[in-house]
Structure 1
Amino acid sequence: MTPPTVSTSIPLSRQINEWDTYIGRFEPSRTVDIRPRVSGQIVAVHFTDGATVRRGELLFTIDRRPFAAALAEANANLASARSELALARADARRANNLVGDEAVSKSELDRLHARVQAGIAAVAAAQARVSARLLELDFTEVRAPIAGRVSYRRVDPGNLVATGEGTRGTLLTTINALDPIYFVFDASEALYLKALRAKQDGAKTSAIEVRLQDETDYRWHGALDFTDNGLDPRSGTIRLRAVVPNRDLFLTPGMFGNMRLASSGTTTALLVPDAAIQTDQARKVVLTVTKAGIVEAKPVVLGPVVDGLRIVRSGLAPSDAVVVGGIQMATPGSKVLTKPTRIEPAAPARPAPAPAISGEATFAS
């Protein structure tokens, strides 16, 4: 009988990037809770809810009148202390002139000199109180400590706000810095070890790419900048973070994204059609045809699929004739006729965007 004919081809050799995929969430690169540093009544709000603000931009104004009065009082006390110091210095100078005539006792002279030192200290204390009142007056203008997107105002004009340590003060609003923005994700121990091994072998970790839920392309690019100092013993994962530029402020904290990371760099790989992979009990094999026309099964170690083709990590030589057509007629050890062909990658499949949530609709009148 005539041996069956099968289609064969040598493996396709291509430069590839292998990616590890993760799901993560965007977080602000910096976030600040705006709280008052002095207590008083809010008299004005100077921003629009959700607007982008610059660093130092005025956000709230607290009633300045009590603090202006306190500053005036501190200035008056400073003037009084300076006057007392000037009088003490004059008395000390007159006493020094009378020392030669023994018209002033030693104890009186010491008392006058001590009065001068006390006057100097009183002036310094009064100046410190003036500086403190100036700071309090300056704190009546609540300004943005960072640039970013401001949240909504939590206090309207006319309300009283109070200062306090930590989180005990009245929360006025929050500001999130969004350019750049962080992408935070958790990696399993296996993937973390894989990246570490690749780094030890000299591979350079490439930049990360992120795709949003309604996108088909990985259009957002960034770079890893932080790896936590330990794995979570409960989940066995480790927290990592990437920095992503966000110049148009499109990305918002809380968004989910699909991220991919190339941990092994660009390598040369052999690829065969995924349909050419056979299962022999617990191992994967590829059928090849020898020069004598005999079918031979070769155990292989597989990688991911790229454009419909399966990466073969080991077990296959670049010159092997792989059976890619008529596989059902090829049995290991049997003789076959071969028909040469070529392996071609399929068009890359793009993930479909997430469907929009349906609402209500009515006919227009």
Structure 2
Amino acid sequence: MKFLQIAAIAAALSALTFGCQKKAEKKASYPPTPATLVKAEGKSVRKYIDTLGTISSLHSVNIVPQVSGQIVKINFEQGQFVKEGDVLAEIDPRPYAAAVMQAEGNLRQAEAQLKIDALDVERNRKLAKDNYVDKQTFDSLLAKVEVDKGVVETCKAALETARINLDWCKIKSPISGKVGLYNINSGNVVAAGTSVITTIEQLDRLYVDFVVPSQRLYDVKRFMEANGGKAAVDVSYIEDDLGHRKTVAEVDIILNKIRYESGTAVLRGRLDNKDGLFWPNQPVKVRVNLEEIKGAVLIPNMCIQIGPKEPFVYIAAPYKDGVYVISQRDVGEGQLFDGGMRAVSGVKDGEMVVKSVSSLRLQAGPFVYAATPEGLIMGADSKPILDPAKMREFMSNATAIADELRAKFAKEAAEAAAKKQAPVEALKAAEKAAAGE
């Protein structure tokens, strides 16, 4: 009610000043101040947290040979999409094919030796039973068979290793995805486990990693717990003109500590990318959708003024014929939503709020009329009045109403001042009576 008090005082002073002048002198009249008004909107909205994130591959694989040798063939083009199991490159297989043949020969020798020694055991078994062969000799024959079995198993393992090495001469893709650039060309010699031929990125399924302020982590965690440990986030291009390129990711991972330097928590979500909209290492906008607020009251954020203690707004109460009386009201600020709309407490659904007004002109009285940002008068149908005659009629009527309000406030101020002064005058009269004056 700050403006009402100022207006009342100003009106009272004006009345006193003009009371000392001649009655024939005409009082000054001022029209109400034009103001852009908006209606507070009550609706259900969903809380959210806007932040930034980075896209990463669900699987990113360096293609490294598992055997050494000369690259004899490259079977992919740079930037090509490949499928799991595709042969990407080939190493000269001849040394490894020879190793397989050698291992096969060693195995046959070991199996033949096992067969010979097993026959010796069978030939000597009856003789040992009849004591024609001493027990020590027969036990040695049995032990030799067991040694032969071990040699056979060793040769089998060597053969399997040789076959695996031969198979590794064909370097296959472990995942489906998009290959990068050549790091090694055909003809080069590569070393097992160290030479990176290229890199494959899985693109049909991606991660999005993003941060939220640590003070909001509890809100996110509570929402996820209430929704099966998951939360939906909107992921979109960071460029404003490309914001329509977006998808939804499902978040189910909160990393295990807060980043001390930034005071943020890291979360990870998964998203489908079958349309190829996003790429690894791409920065993105992320909106974490939280619980719904029912019955929230929204006003444009620019309506909120900064007060000495609390933020406040100017409420415009309709008085008569398009003239409003404004008053100051403290509000509590809530979530800022799209379009610059903010949820507030202390304002009711449907109340008119001042969006912009000249504070200097309000010193003539807290009376306004609805106008466009360009200053055109808004009619009762919420459309600008363009007819000059109607504009003059409106302003004449509005000025008369403003004068009426000034007189009303001046009268109320004078009555209040009189009530405040009456006890003082009574006290002075009592003091004079007591003094015998």
TM range, normalised to the smaller chain?
Answer: 0.7 to 0.9
Match of 2:144 among 115, 131, 146: 115
Answer yes or no: is 1:192 the counterpart of 2:217: yes
For residue 56 of structure 2, give the secondary structure of its aligned residue in structure 1. strand
Q: Kindly report the root-mean-square deviation, in angstroms, between the aligned alpha carbons of the 2 structures.
A: 3.3
Matched, 1:94 2:120: no
Tell me if 1:302 matches 2:328. no
Q: Which residue in the other structure is 1:280 paired with?
A: 307
1:240 and 2:267 are equivalent in the alignment: yes
8 Å CA contact 2:232, 2:249 repeated in 1: no
Counterparts of 2:226 and 2:117, CA distance in 1: 80
Structure number with the higher strand fraction is: 1
Alignment of 1:50-129 (within 5 A): 50-129=79-158
Alignment correspondent of 1:356: none
1:37 to 66, 69, 74: 66
Q: Could you list the per-position Cα deviations for residues 308-333 of structure 1 after superposition, in whole angstroms to 9, with x for gaps in the alignment?
A: 563233122336454567674668xx
Larger CA deviation: 320-329 vs 169-178: 320-329
Q: Mean Cα displacement is larger for which, 183-192 or 107-116?
A: 183-192
Among 315, 321, 329, the alignment partner of 2:346 is 315
Judged with a 3 Å threshold, the aligned counterparts in structure 2 of structure 1 residues 132 and 341 are, in CA distance, closer, same or farther, namely: farther
Partners of 2:189 and 2:202 in 1: how far apart?
28
Higher mean C-alpha deviation, range 12-21 or range 274-283: 274-283
Give the 5 Å matches for 1:194-209: 194-196=219-221, 205-209=231-235
**Quick one: distance in 1 between partners of 2:328 and 2:202?**
58
Answer whether contact 2:232 2:248 (CA < 8 A) is retained.
no
Counterpart residue number, 1:222: 249
1:50-103 deviation digits (Å, cap 9, x = unpaired) = 111111110111111111111111111111111111111111111012134321
Correspondence for 2:412: none
**Partner amino acid for 1:47?**
F
Deviations 1:154-192 (A, max 9, x none): 11111111114xxxx111111111111122222222333
The 1:98/1:216 distance shift into structure 2, 3 A limit, reads closer
C-alpha change, 1:299 and 1:117, in structure 2 (3 Å) is same
Partner amino acid for 2:341? R
Which residues of structure 2 form unaligned runs of 5+? 1-28, 371-378, 384-437
Pair member with larger Rg: 2
Q: Is the 8 A contact 2:234 2:246 kept in 1?
A: no
* Equivalent AA in structure 2 for residue 58 of structure 1: V
Alignment partners' CA distance in 2, 1:131 and 1:343 = 86
Judge conservation of contact 1:11–1:320 (CA < 8 Å) in 2: yes
Residue number among 143, 149, 173 corresponding to 2:198 in the alignment = 173
2:295 matched residue in structure 1: 268
SS of aligned partner of 1:254? coil
Please report the TM-score for the alignment, with normalisation by the length of structure 1.
0.80
Q: Which amino acid aligns with 1:21?
A: D
Amino acid at match of 1:96: R
Distance 1:101 1:57 in 2: 65
| Runs of 4+ displaced beyond 6 Å | 5-9, 200-204, 290-294, 337-344
Alpha-carbon distance between aligned partners in 2 of 1:295 and 1:33, rounded to the nearest angstrom:
68
Instruction: Find 2:237's aligned residue among 192, 211, 214.
Output: 211
Q: CA deviation at 1:288?
A: 2.8
- 1:22 and 2:51 matched: yes
Secondary structure of 2:253's counterpart equals: strand
Q: CA deviation digits over 1:21-44, x for unaligned, max 9?
A: 222222111111111111111111
- Contact 2:90 2:169 survives alignment (8 Å): yes
Q: Percent identity?
A: 26
CA apart distance, 1:206? 3.6
Aligned partners of 1:264 and 1:282: how far apart in 2?
A: 30
What amino acid sits opposite 2:42 in the alignment? S
CA distance in 2 between counterparts of 1:322 and 1:244 reads 42
Contact kept in structure 2, 1:61 and 1:140, CA below 8 Å? yes
Q: Which moved more, 1:51-60 or 1:308-317?
A: 308-317
Deviation at 1:235, TM superposition (A): 2.1
Q: Which moved more, 1:76-85 or 1:182-191?
A: 182-191
Q: Secondary structure at the match of 1:127?
A: helix
Instruction: Tell me, in whole angstroms, the C-alpha distance in 2 between the residues paired with 1:289 and 1:262.
Output: 34
Contact in 1 for aligned 2:314/2:326 (Cα 8 Å): yes
| 2:259 aligned counterpart, secondary structure | coil
| More displaced stretch, 25-34 vs 184-193 | 184-193
> Residues 98 and 20 of structure 1: is their aligned pair in 2 closer, same or farther, counting only changes over 3 Å?
same
Question: 1: distance between equivalents of 2:368 and 2:261?
Answer: 57
